[in-house]
Chain A
């Protein structure tokens, strides 16, 4: 029965990421490689966080402790990945130059934001997969959550939050990489702080003694506000302006600018 819930939640959580992947990533092997590599770095961050969580026995029951350190490690590994990506620039340039006499550097290399976006998306997809797949796996059976008094909106809120995190990671990727490039260190602060904020908000989804029903909206609404703000910042960072936006709508039917 709740196969419907299963598909509904999968589409909500991963639909946009899927769309981004097929239209912007899948046709370009270089982007796919970077996507996978960045997803792998997220996994490494998870590994380190879980080792720490496992090692500190007295705080194992404290979700907040693990969460804070997980955010720190994720940002640390995002920085590591940035470093490695910039180091690999020359190499990547070579791999992507297929023709001998190509003098023009490929767009992926000249526009640094593209790789930032790709790695951000990789980070987000892996993060989303890990937060939702185990929930989805149990969703396909005949039942839904709630026999022990849990909220029946658990599945749909999980999916919505997962979507939010995937997009947030994508935006953070663009902002964060650019901040290092341009040495705009306060932007790094913004990314880390907003990541910490949204992650800590999800603690509200816990059921505690004093709050038997989780307040999902209390975490979802602020998270989406942060997401839209970050989306705007990323748009601007990548060179988007109001004029550009207007132009893109006005010349919907005009000649194509695509070069490849």
Chain B
């Protein structure tokens, strides 16, 4: 049974190739391994996504390029059901609906070979499978008469809502150039392509079998109930709640024995996840790798300023928070708030009062909120500061917001980054801070790259790749590509420097020192690692850890002077303030060995699972928390093969049956007459 969980919390993956043996099935079937299916997901009321039949959906392959091909598949072609091969431009809601509703299409394959721009052209006008108003139902303005349902700005104007359709046929993207070429040339062109004068080809025809059977059905409540009912000794899972891990770290490292006044914590947040229609294809370059890297680089710069911040009396603490699962109705942020309300944040309460932990942070502790969203495509070469019009009804808060805006504008213009604020009458774009504002009005700003609707025309889609935000370098050599500073890295570094400076001033009240600067190399390395290849030096350095927590520890933690992994642990049993993280570290110069590092850090993970699944008797229809679950599945496969004509099949079968009956008759007769037939040697 397959298991999955959200997105790229675990940032490092290594793939191992497998050798195959040959047998007849290898001569019958061509396996398309470079595939990625669309999965089925559920919320409280609906199911969305795709599934195949139990044994896979089989159909004759047709490569649909223009209207005549659509007409062929939907109306004229004699060999339906078809499995349609679509180019990247043709795959849109209109065409998919047309194909699906014809009842003659058994599955869809979409070409997505990113390296090849002729085979996979990117849609000029944009493409986003998300809705035009993402996360609408669970945000601050849900049912708001003035701003609700994106009345003022339709943020994701390219949104097609493709993600939220229930397809009931399998849809796959194919990502391997060789396999796609085989499919087009050796399957479609050779066997299936109708002749010049428009007549269908004769059998044998080339067909495809798409298999991604989803076990779950209907909606989250049904599916979770079925999963939780123990019917036999072999418990089946029908679906799992979507979710992963939030990551959070504080600068001042206040422990439970120290005073921690209310309104003394600034949250600097970014979101970790995005989605696309297809599993494991989350390039997420603009949303939200730019935001994550921007904030991490600021954290790194501030990490070096820790003593200055700690020593300043009355300075505010800074909590770096990275939320996961936000694309699915704010799973991570609502979970963190839920834990803050229970007093379980940053870690669950411990029973023993003698034990020292990090000081708990509740909603009362929060004083400011700065959220970093997409930073990749700057609207009019500027970044934009958004704030919440509702918060401005209170004079104090409004003044505080204005102060924040003017501070960051001043600091960023010193660094050379243009930042502007949008009008105070415009609501916040979809952002985690909305969940906090639903609970408590705090001065908050969202920094992002769009003034009105998204500048990212590929929001939450498979096209949101590094190339599109100039985060790639031309070199094909990995070590060069790793070190050559990309255009995007240069710009992001300046943004991080201003962010760090702004956070510093907001915390201490002092203007940022000149040495406070983000490291352009770190930014470049992170962009390269997140977007180009995960087998990169930075991610190797943090091994065996492989997640955001390790990166946070690397940038915010203190180095402990030990050389052995076994010594990298706390000395006091009752001290639960810090985490100790061992990393294999950078290479020693002129050698292949590495020098390990031990980091003492407050960076820690917490569960990003919707509280809906933990609250007993949660009312699924209350709309309070995200209810997204993902169906489990068994096998995912795509294979190509020939199907023989029905006439040939029946001929073979009838020949077989006739031969069997004839030989039964003949042998029976011969056996009865054996004594006469072979009478020379018989006993007579």
13 further A-B pairs in the complex, CB-CB below 8 A; given A143-B207, A240-B678, A247-B679: A4-B650, A4-B652, A11-B659, A20-B663, A110-B683, A135-B24, A143-B209, A147-B30, A147-B206, A148-B30, A152-B648, A241-B680, A244-B679
Instruction: Tell me how far the C-beta of B92 lies from the nearest C-beta in chain A, rounded to whole angstroms.
Output: 30
Given the interface pairs A23-B667, A152-B644, the reply to whether A15 lies near B660 with Cβ below 8 Å is: yes
User: Most B CB atoms within 10 A — which of A16, A137, A147, A239?
Assistant: A147
Q: Establish whether residues A239 and B652, one from each chain, have CB atoms under 8 Å apart when the complex forms.
A: no
Residue A55 at the chain B interface, CB threshold 8 Å: no
Query: What residues on B are CB-neighbors of A88 within 8 Å?
Result: none
User: Most B CB atoms within 10 A — which of A1, A112, A145?
Assistant: A145
Partner of A15, one of B58, B659, B681, B682: B659
Instruction: Tell me how far the C-beta of B15 lies from the nearest C-beta in chain A, rounded to whole angstroms.
Output: 26
| 20 A-B interface contacts by CB (under 8 A) | A1-B643, A2-B643, A5-B653, A11-B653, A16-B667, A19-B663, A20-B667, A141-B641, A142-B56, A142-B58, A145-B28, A146-B642, A147-B27, A148-B30, A152-B642, A155-B652, A239-B681, A247-B679, A257-B684, A258-B672
Of all A-B residue pairs in the complex, the 10 with the closest CB atoms, nearest first, are: A143-B641, A11-B656, A15-B660, A8-B652, A239-B680, A8-B656, A8-B653, A16-B663, A138-B25, A239-B678
Residue A113 at the chain B interface, CB threshold 8 Å: yes
In the bound complex, what is the Cα–Cα distance between A46 and B24 (angstroms)?
20
Q: Establish whether residues A143 and B667, one from each chain, have CB atoms under 8 Å apart when the complex forms.
A: no
In the bound complex, what is the Cα–Cα distance between A31 and B450 (angstroms)?
87
Given the interface pairs A5-B644, A138-B23, the reply to whether A244 lies near B677 with Cβ below 8 Å is: yes
Query: What residues on A are CB-neighbors of B470 within 8 Å?
Result: none
Instruction: Tell me how far the C-beta of A66 lies from the nearest C-beta in chain B, rounded to whole angstroms.
Output: 16
Residue B515 at the chain A interface, CB threshold 8 Å: no
Partner of A145, one of B27, B649, B668: B27
Q: Establish whether residues B679 and A147, one from each chain, have CB atoms under 8 Å apart when the complex forms.
A: no
Chain A minimum-CB-distance residue to B186: A147
| CB under 8 Å from chain A, chain B span 627-684 | 639-644, 648-657, 659-660, 663-664, 666-668, 671-673, 675-684
Q: Establish whether residues A12 and B24, one from each chain, have CB atoms under 8 Å apart when the complex forms.
A: no
Chain A minimum-CB-distance residue to B684: A257
In the bound complex, what is the Cα–Cα distance between A147 and B666 (angstroms)?
39
Query: What residues on A are CB-neighbors of B644 within 8 Å?
Result: 2, 5, 144, 152
Q: Establish whether residues B209 and A5, one from each chain, have CB atoms under 8 Å apart when the complex forms.
A: no
Instruction: Report the contact-size class of chain A (Cβ under 8 Å from the partner).
Output: 35 or more
In the bound complex, what is the Cα–Cα distance between A248 and B671 (angstroms)?
11
Residue A97 at the chain B interface, CB threshold 8 Å: no
Chain A minimum-CB-distance residue to B668: A23
**1/0 contact string of A234-259 vs chain B (CB within 8 Å):** 00001111001101100110001111
Query: What residues on A are CB-neighbors of B679 within 8 Å?
Result: 239, 244, 247
Q: Establish whether residues A24 and B667, one from each chain, have CB atoms under 8 Å apart when the complex forms.
A: yes
Instruction: Tell me how far the C-beta of A155 lies from the nearest C-beta in chain B, rounded to whole angstroms.
Output: 8
Q: Establish whether residues A4 and B653, one from each chain, have CB atoms under 8 Å apart when the complex forms.
A: yes
Residue B29 at the chain A interface, CB threshold 8 Å: yes
Q: Establish whether residues A7 and B28, one from each chain, have CB atoms under 8 Å apart when the complex forms.
A: no
Query: What residues on B are CB-neighbors of A244 within 8 Å?
Result: 676-680
Instruction: Tell me how far the C-beta of B677 lies from the nearest C-beta in chain A, rounded to whole angstroms.
Output: 5
| Chain A residues engaging chain B, CB cutoff 8 angstroms | 1-2, 4-5, 7-12, 15-16, 18-20, 23-24, 104, 107, 110-113, 134-135, 137-139, 141-148, 150, 152, 155-156, 159, 238-241, 244-245, 247-248, 251-252, 256-259
| CB under 8 Å from chain A, chain B span 255-305 | none
Instruction: Tell me how far the C-beta of B23 lies from the nearest C-beta in chain A, rounded to whole angstroms.
Output: 7
Q: Establish whether residues A8 and B209, one from each chain, have CB atoms under 8 Å apart when the complex forms.
A: no
Partner of A10, one of B29, B649, B656, B672: B656
Instruction: Report the contact-size class of chain B (Cβ under 8 Å from the partner).
Output: 35 or more
Partner of B657, one of A5, A11, A18, A143: A11
Residue B187 at the chain A interface, CB threshold 8 Å: yes
In the bound complex, what is the Cα–Cα distance between A139 and B642 (angstroms)?
12
Q: Establish whether residues A238 and B678, one from each chain, have CB atoms under 8 Å apart when the complex forms.
A: yes
Q: Establish whether residues A141 and B656, one from each chain, have CB atoms under 8 Å apart when the complex forms.
A: no
Residue B204 at the chain A interface, CB threshold 8 Å: yes
Given the interface pairs A15-B656, A147-B186, the reply to whether A142 lies near B641 with Cβ below 8 Å is: yes
Query: What residues on A are CB-neighbors of B666 within 8 Å?
Result: 19
Q: Establish whether residues B676 and A247, one from each chain, have CB atoms under 8 Å apart when the complex forms.
A: yes
Partner of B677, one of A1, A107, A146, A245: A245
Query: What residues on B are CB-neighbors of A256 within 8 Å?
Result: 672
Q: Establish whether residues A143 and B28, one from each chain, have CB atoms under 8 Å apart when the complex forms.
A: yes
| CB under 8 Å from chain A, chain B span 174-222 | 186-187, 204, 206-207, 209
In the bound complex, what is the Cα–Cα distance between A18 and B679 (angstroms)?
25
Given the interface pairs A146-B642, A152-B204, the reply to whether A111 lies near B681 with Cβ below 8 Å is: yes
Query: What residues on A are CB-neighbors of B659 within 8 Å?
Result: 11-12, 15-16
In the bound complex, what is the Cα–Cα distance between A10 and B659 (angstroms)?
11
Instruction: Tell me how far the C-beta of B667 lies from the nearest C-beta in chain A, rounded to whole angstroms.
Output: 4
Partner of B27, one of A5, A104, A150, A238: A150
Q: Establish whether residues B642 and A7, one from each chain, have CB atoms under 8 Å apart when the complex forms.
A: no
Q: Establish whether residues A9 and B656, one from each chain, have CB atoms under 8 Å apart when the complex forms.
A: yes
Given the interface pairs A8-B653, A238-B678, the reply to whether A138 lies near B660 with Cβ below 8 Å is: no
In the bound complex, what is the Cα–Cα distance between A20 and B671 (angstroms)?
9
Q: Establish whether residues B664 and A19, one from each chain, have CB atoms under 8 Å apart when the complex forms.
A: yes
Query: What residues on A are CB-neighbors of B641 within 8 Å?
Result: 141-144, 147
In the bound complex, what is the Cα–Cα distance between A258 and B25 (angstroms)?
49
In the bound complex, what is the Cα–Cα distance between A142 and B639 (angstroms)?
10
In the bound complex, what is the Cα–Cα distance between A156 and B656 (angstroms)?
10
Query: What residues on A are CB-neighbors of B673 within 8 Å?
Result: 248, 252
Q: Establish whether residues B24 and A145, one from each chain, have CB atoms under 8 Å apart when the complex forms.
A: yes
Q: Establish whether residues A113 and B656, one from each chain, have CB atoms under 8 Å apart when the complex forms.
A: no
Chain A minimum-CB-distance residue to B182: A147
Given the interface pairs A11-B657, A248-B676, the reply to whether A141 lies near B29 with Cβ below 8 Å is: yes
Partner of A147, one of B23, B187, B656, B684: B187
Query: What residues on B are CB-neighbors of A2 within 8 Å?
Result: 643-644, 649
Instruction: Tell me how far the C-beta of A133 lies from the nearest C-beta in chain B, rounded to whole angstroms.
Output: 11
Query: What residues on B are CB-neighbors of A19 within 8 Å?
Result: 660, 663-664, 666-668
Q: Establish whether residues A134 and B24, one from each chain, have CB atoms under 8 Å apart when the complex forms.
A: yes
In the bound complex, what is the Cα–Cα distance between A15 and B206 (angstroms)?
31
Q: Establish whether residues B642 and A113, one from each chain, have CB atoms under 8 Å apart when the complex forms.
A: no
Query: What residues on B are CB-neighbors of A138 within 8 Å?
Result: 23-25, 28
In the bound complex, what is the Cα–Cα distance between A24 and B25 (angstroms)?
36
Q: Establish whether residues B204 and A141, one from each chain, have CB atoms under 8 Å apart when the complex forms.
A: no
Query: What residues on A are CB-neighbors of B677 within 8 Å?
Result: 239-240, 244-245, 248
